[in-house]
Structure 1
């Protein structure tokens, strides 16, 4: 009789651990369905290590400098890498080369934040889906509205257009993705498979429409890359000429896109067949695959994959933690993170005598 698989079991291409070592990075992913933020790191030349942490409906991730921000059901949690605490982390000394500890929690309320990004000035931008706007996370307010599509006439929590993605170009926020142009409650649902669009927030111009559930826009190497979730496609767009190229096709619902060197990391999710908006999706392969596909950017060829066998059904966001091969993370639900002191000049745990 076969034994049940342990939670979060996955398979992966033999080359993935070594590729992550060559790229000197760790993959961070969120799965709101499983309530986890997961780090995937190389564990020697042939194995991967997973580090899942509990959060309430985790969605968008932002990584910059030593910081990591995570959008949850009603909060944005900001963590920072206290690398000096990692070598003496009491439960596992010497295991991690970085250790992310909670540093701030912003109570936004249930605004359904999707993508998060830090700008060059240190402001944290949030795609505020319920209020159909871009916001900045603010210590004085639930959020500070910054921009809304021109067809949205009022700031109300009615999810008019399902605004979901934000791309920065040359250090400034510029392109957004949404599922439909509407000024009524959840009006985007009326044409969900062909109503998606991309907009330039500086000009309020629609740069591409008729899209199948666009997500995860990213400006990479002089072009805008977008995932068409309902088609399982990765496309590349030249905003000037409006030329669109299909770079890759995947056997699943795609959402979550990250870049490191010459490689793209694409999140694959299984289709929720019981949900009404997913019943008519015609994704090649049936939409039964969940995991990560690694694509060689110059050629568009798939070069590696990670596939979840259980526990994880959907992925929302992917980010890369650069220059770290074994980062650890502590959430703010337990007391462990309160036992460490980290300053510019001092790192020690309360059980240890300061050096």
Structure 2
């Protein structure tokens, strides 16, 4: 089958991926800003996968906690809630979904280039890359700045260090990654392959420097994992000394990571040869396909993969949704979600009224 004959987002995968998702009732969620999509990947049997792409303009970071999902888009953050009472009766696909993520709130942040996000004790945190700070996302302001690196002198929209990744601990940001420690507009770019830093948020101290485009720090148990995008390496960092070991090397630009058990699901992007930012990276020649790789965190071995063959080139974030074998999701670009009415213990799908009709008017 030629590329032209393949359906959008056509993918191939190792045989164990459907088995892992099917047996554990898992769904993988990925964002791709290049294609403007959030894609749910679920198993429809022990042997097959099914995908559900939805439009979200320049989809970047995601947060997921207790059935709630937040998605950073170009100018907004969309908050969705799993609504089981509406899933079974979804008019377009009845008796299909094990859950249904419905839009519940929209925060108008403006174009601040939010990367990683996570819910914590104080609310919804976002890495505000354009302003080089950590922000809370709420209905008070476009964003509420709460922390910035010591080397950032002003709160200005200049993307001075390309702050991008955030690891949470006990409900608060614990570590962040940045592609440099510059205090000038886009100052991270000249040394992007060697200037990356890992910063301890409570103290503000840089614990590791000289990193090759670090992204997606994640605290998993006692371990701190970080992806080095420019070299395709997954590293484990000693939180006391800042020294790190390479867990494994992956053939591509790695960014976006989530864990289930001993498995790390890692996003893989294919470098655009026309990109001024990416074309000269060490990993550019090895970056052969976009998709997802699964790594055994205990052994460092790659144990599975999903490979996209068209439509998708770059992945930013990835989450693993547990206890939902095949959830649905509705975006905000169509009217479908407006007809789903959810109450604390029940839900209704309304019948759209004709324009001008008001059945409650006398």
For the aligned pair, the TM-score class normalised by the smaller chain equals over 0.9
What residue ranges of structure 1 are gaps of 5+ in the alignment?
none
Aligned counterparts of 2:219 and 2:205: Cα–Cα separation in 1: 17
Segments ≥4 residues shifted beyond 4 Å = none
Unpaired runs of 5+ residues, structure 2, are 353-362
Which residue number corresponds to residue 146 of structure 1? 146
- Alignment match, 2:360: none
The answer as to 2:188 corresponding to 1:218 is no
The corresponding residue for 2:348 is: 348
- Match of residue 280 from structure 1: 280
**How far off its partner does 1:170 sit?**
2.9
Distance 2:205 2:350 in 1: 55
8 Å CA contact 1:235, 1:244 repeated in 2: yes
Query: What is the alpha-carbon root mean square deviation over aligned residues?
Result: 1.3
Q: Is the 8 A contact 2:23 2:46 kept in 1?
A: no
- Aligned ranges 1:296-311 → 2 under 5 Å: 296-311=296-311
Alignment check: 8 A CA contact 1:17 1:47 kept: yes
1:306-354 deviations in Å (ceiling 9; x for gaps) = 00000000000001111101000000111111111111122111149xx
Cα distance in 1, alignment partners of residues 204 and 241 from structure 2: 17
Equivalent-residue separation in structure 1 for 2:284 and 2:316 (angstroms): 20
What is the CA deviation profile of residues 145-179 of structure 1, one whole-angstrom value per residue up to 9, with x for unaligned ones?
A: 00000111111000100000000123321100000
Report the Cα distance in structure 2 between the residues aligned to 1:268 and 1:209, rounded to whole angstroms.
23
Give the C-alpha shift of residue 285 in structure 1. 5.7
Counterpart in the other structure of 1:7: 8
Match of 1:326 in 2: 326
In 2, Cα distance between equivalents of 1:313 and 1:178 = 23
Q: Deviations over 1:106-144 (max 9, x none)?
A: 0000000000100145x0000000000000002010000
Verify the 8 A CA contact 1:198 1:208 in the aligned structure 2: yes
Counterparts of 1:216-295 in structure 2, within 5 Å, are 216-283=216-283, 286-295=286-295
CA contact (8 A) 2:278 2:284 kept: no
Mapped contact 2:289–2:307 kept (Cα < 8 A): yes
Q: Distance in 1 between matches of 2:179 and 2:273?
A: 19
Tell me, yes or no, if the aligned pair for 1:166 and 1:216 is still in contact at 8 Å.
yes
CA distance in 1, matches of 2:54, 2:133: 29
Structure 1 residue 242: Cα displacement: 2.5
More deviation in 252-261 or 284-293? 284-293
Q: Secondary structure at the match of 1:68?
A: strand
Q: Aligned residue for 2:24?
A: 23
The 3-state SS of whatever aligns with 1:231 is coil
**Contact preservation (8 Å) 1:40, 1:48:** yes
Asked if the contact 1:251/1:284 (under 8 Å) is kept, the reply is: no
Please tell me whether residue 70 in structure 1 is matched to residue 56 in structure 2: no
1:133 aligns with 2:136: no
Cα gap change, 1:158 to 1:117, in 2 (>3 Å): same
Please show how residues 25-40 of structure 1 align to structure 2 within 5 Å.
25-40=26-41
* Stretch moving more, 278-287 or 154-163: 278-287
Q: Helix, strand or coil: the match of 2:184?
A: coil
> How far 1:22 moved relative to its partner?
2.6
TM-score between the two structures when normalised by the length of structure 2: 0.95
In the superposition, the TM-score normalised over structure 1's length comes to 0.96
Partners of 2:106 and 2:241 in 1: CA distance: 42
Report if the CA contact (8 A) 2:212-2:230 is conserved: yes
Give the superposition deviation at 1:84: 0.9
Q: For residues 340 and 32 of structure 1, what CA distance do their matches in structure 2 show? A: 27
Q: Secondary structure at the match of 2:226?
A: strand
Distance 2:171 2:125 in 1: 12
